[in-house]
Amino acid sequence: GQNIDQPTEMTATEGAIVQINCTYQTSGFNGLFWYQQHAGEAPTFLSYNVLDGLEEKGRFSSFLSRSKGYSYLLLKELQMKDSASYLCAASDSNYQLIWGAGTKLIIKP
Amino acid sequence: DVKVTQSSRYLVKRTGEKVFLECVQDMDHENMFWYRQDPGLGLRLIYFSYDVKMKEKGDIPEGYSVSREKKERFSLILESASTNQTSMYLCASSTQGAGWTGANVLTFGAGSRLTVL
């Protein structure tokens, strides 16, 4: 079957770095998305990876290893506003998205 | 600012009632989607549409139907609401491209939280 695993919750300190991992098993693969969702708000797009390697976008970076079925989202210089849920989603051979349950990130001062 | 607007943020309905959830996007996107979001589960696709008057079943279509009479509007209908349909419903849209959702970024609405008593 198809599935995505990511940690349910993580806690980090303001100013620090945190890495949120995501492992996936899909029938075929057409890329990996990360979305951010603040409580009570719409998910918003953060990153898309389809090739192996690291994509950097400001304080946020996303990494993909296709051979390992693994991705991570790296958040640097954490700010209180980064407290949110982070959703991982993989696109399968039919371009259907398989979603993880999300990782709730709590930032402490 | 691009928008996907869901008409109702919070609804409370009784078992057996017919429920309409409306979604409008102003980005001229071809694809529109309805998901439900429940604690501890990933987003689950209910229905999607890639063109006006076209619809495709997602992973959990039972108990739901949809309507897309205009490009910008995609409605989700619960013919006879049940308590297990209590959930957060998210509408999303994307442009046509590599597959339905291949590399196309989804723009989501803020959600409609439905409680069925």
More confident residue, B100 or B72: B72
Q: What is the pLDDT of residues B9-40, one digit of tens each?
A: 999 999 999 999 999 999 999 999 999 999 99
Q: What is the pLDDT of residues B79-117, one digit of tens each?
A: 999 999 999 999 999 987 655 444 578 999 999 999 999
Q: What is the pLDDT of residue A96?
A: 85
Q: What is the pLDDT of residue A81?
A: 97
Is-contact A3 A25, C-beta < 8 A?
A: yes
pLDDT at B46 over 50: yes
Cβ-based contacts of A95 with chain B (< 8 Å): 98-102
The Cα-based distances of B39 to A102, A104, B61 in angstroms read: 9, 11, 19
Q: What is the pLDDT of residue B11?
A: 96
Interface contact flag, B100 A100, Cβ < 8 Å: no
Other C-beta atoms closer than 10 Å to the C-beta of B58 total: 18
Q: What is the pLDDT of residue B103?
A: 59
Cβ-based contacts of B110 with chain A (< 8 Å): 40-42
How far does A51 lie from chain B, in Å, by closest CA? Answer: 12
Q: What is the pLDDT of residue B95?
A: 84
pLDDT at B2 over 80: no
Structural tokens at position A33? 């998305």
Q: Does B101 touch chain A (CB under 8 A)?
A: yes
Measured distance CA(A57)–CA(A47) in Å, rounded: 8
For residues A17-43, one letter each, b for 16 or more C-beta atoms within 10 angstroms of the residue's C-beta and e for the rest, the string is ebebebbbebeebbbbbbbbbeeeebb
> Is the four-CA dihedral A23, A24, A30, A36 of positive or negative sign?
negative
Interface contact flag, B100 A96, Cβ < 8 Å: yes
Q: What is the pLDDT of residue B97?
A: 62
Structural tokens at position B36? 């439900």
Residues in chain A predicted with pLDDT less than 70, given as ranges, are none
Q: What is the pLDDT of residue B101?
A: 47
Measured distance CA(B35)–CA(B43) in Å, rounded: 6
The alpha-helical segments, DSSP class H, found in A1-109 are none
Strand pairing of A3-5 and B4-6?
unpaired
pLDDT at B1 over 60: yes
Other C-beta atoms closer than 10 Å to the C-beta of A98 total: 22
Is-contact A35 A48, C-beta < 8 A?
A: no
What percent of chain B is predicted at pLDDT more than 70? 92
Measured distance CA(B76)–CA(A85) in Å, rounded: 25
